[in-house]
Structure 1
Amino acid sequence: MTTRLEDLSAASFEPHTGSEFTVESGDVVVALRLESVRLLGHRRPDATRDPFSLTFVGPKGLRLPQGISQFCREGFGVAGIFITQTGDGARGSEFEAVFT
């Protein structure tokens, strides 16, 4: 089941915090753990949801290109989500997705 991005909200992801998503980026398939879901403030008057961000953590040393990757998890479905790598620290490689 493909999940429409416009249907996603912070509440869509909160039950999956701490869980792994299977992520496809080009030829790479890897598990990324959803580390946090964070609200980013108030929605614009014309917006359909409150803005939020997601932080994912993967294996240390992992490099994924900035862009749309396919995220899949049982009970969630599949969604193409734009991610940016934000670091590679002691916890592993970190990625962020921002929804406005």
Structure 2
Amino acid sequence: MAEAGFTLASFEPLVGSRFTLRPDDTLELPAQLIEARAGRYGTEGGVQPFSLTFEAPAEPALPQRIYRLEHPQLDAIDLFLVPVARSAAGLHYEAVFG
């Protein structure tokens, strides 16, 4: 799936499923998609903004940058993830499209 093809509808069915987050070539972490949410400001130029929130282990805490994510139903994707919250289960990372 090319980035231009990313839509909220393509990720909504994957909420609750596990992705593999690859910070580098040697490390892989489980990352669950916990939310796919429409943007607050509606469409601009026919594009619906949206965000994805992933939950990953608390350690290692990852800085904001582009990470490779893999899912059995998608091609490998590179997303800019930003740490946004900490929960009892781990860290939350957000990717915003819009």
SS in 2 for 1:77: coil
Rounded to whole Å, the distance in 1 between the matches of 2:54 and 2:68 is 13
Determine which structure has the larger strand proportion and give its number: 1
Identity of aligned residues (%): 30
1:64 Cα deviation from its structure 2 partner: 1.2
Who is 2:63 aligned against? 65
Aligned length: 96
Structure 1 gap segments, 5+ residues each: none
Contact 1:62 / 1:93 at 8 angstroms: preserved in 2?
no
Contact 1:87 / 1:94 at 8 angstroms: preserved in 2?
yes
Which 4+ residue blocks in structure 1 deviate beyond 4 angstroms? none
Larger displacement relative to structure 2 (8-17 or 62-71) = 62-71
What TM-score does the superposition give when structure 1 sets the normalisation length?
0.87
Deviations 1:58-83 (A, max 9, x none): 12333112111111111112111110
Rounded to whole Å, the distance in 1 between the matches of 2:78 and 2:31 is 14
SS in 2 for 1:18: coil
What TM-score does the superposition give when structure 2 sets the normalisation length?
0.89
